[in-house]
Amino acid sequence: MSTEIQAAPEPQVAAPAPSTGSRRPSRILLLLEQRQNRSLLEAELAGRHQVIAEADERALDGEFDLCIIDGTSLDRLRERVQGRKEQEKPTFLPVLLVTTRPGARMITRHLWRSVDELIIAPIERAELVARVEVLLRARALSLELRDKAAELEATALLLVERTAAAEEANRAKTQFLATMSHELRTPLNAIGGYVELLEMEVRGSITDLQRSDLARIRANQRHLLGLINEVLNYAKLGTGTVEFDVSDVPLGEALTAAEALVAPQAASKGLTLRVAGCPPEIAARADADKLRQILANLLSNAVKFTEAGGQVEITCALEKERVLVRVRDTGMGIPADKLDMIFDPFVQVHSDLTRTAEGTGLGLAISRDLALGMGGDLTAASMPGVGSVFTLALPLASA
């Protein structure tokens, strides 16, 4: 049985401001059986929103932001209303039921199934406007969330595509470096072999001056081969083809062996090279060869960038479940704004030293990657004019 809606006396309550923004005006669909009821609600809402007053159920297939429906229409169109709400998901399409004071049976049957809000006739204007504005705001927020989700999805897809392109470019670069390094090693090894043949006088006797020239050729050949080997090692790390043979490595022995590698360079510059006592029972979980390579890189850098008369020291200490190896020097130091760059590949912080300090700028990058590959880390602290401290952290060997 249809019930005519009568507007109650309007209390002095300020109505909410109309919705604003770049979206089109909100559309409200009125599905009410009685024409008088539709006219009443249309008159109340038309000044603030676009109102579609229909009795035809086909209006449910159109575009709207809120459906106001009465009990009679809802009984007849409940499945259509539910279907349209499902169609809109995940966005929220609100339905407001206008009825006389309902019994518990109607509330149980309709509320929270097809209906999101309930308003009881006779209707006060302020209450109607407030309910409508709340539902439309919820609708607008759901549409904004949908748009944001679409933007995020598009951004994520673009990020995935760009990441894949960057990874592919990085793989191509790494493969290029590996190929070129391998191809360059072959002629360099041949040069070394011919120098050795000449020094052995297989091709005939040589003078002392020629022997001196051959020694210079050999030294430069070895230096260039060392640079290429660095590039090749870095390329291998980039492709993930480096294997780690991790075991318990006594640190005292590793530090002493590393000192022996750089002692001649330190002595030639007049540096004091000191290895602090490392208890023999301290051992790290590491690949012995990779550890030796890291220590050699750190000590070589310390010697390279420390002026004559300076000091280079290597120590070890325990910290919880880690062992720390520190290489400390009294060299020129690194500016604070460039400290984060030193582990980047092909970077030499002191560009003014590129003519005197030889290298590819890969030593520290390789060392940190090797440390990470063994479950450790490599960090640095420095102060210009005072010196630098490089700390290699590795897992402590099990007792």
Ramachandran angles phi, psi of 346, nearest 5°: 65, 25
Cα separation, 124 vs 8, in Å, equals 5
**pLDDT at 104 exceeding the cut of 60:** no
Model confidence over 184-232: pLDDT tens digits? 777 888 888 888 888 888 888 989 899 888 888 888 888 787 777 777 7
pLDDT tier at 133, thresholds 50, 70, 90: very high
Residue type, 219: A
Cα separation, 45 vs 136, in Å, equals 12
Please report the domains of the chain, with CATH numbers, ordered by start residue.
Answer: 27-148 (3.40.50.2300), 158-239 (1.10.287.130), 246-395 (3.30.565.10)
Token pair for 342 = 């030193």
Token pair for 341 = 């760059």
Cα separation, 305 vs 290, in Å, equals 23
pLDDT computed for residue 110 by the predictor: 52
Q: Could you tell me which residues come within 8 angstroms of residue 22 by beta carbon, excluding any fewer than 6 positions away?
A: none
Tell me how far CA of residue 173 lies from CA of 166, 177, 383, in angstroms.
Answer: 10, 6, 34
**pLDDT at 39 exceeding the cut of 60:** yes
**pLDDT at 18 exceeding the cut of 60:** no
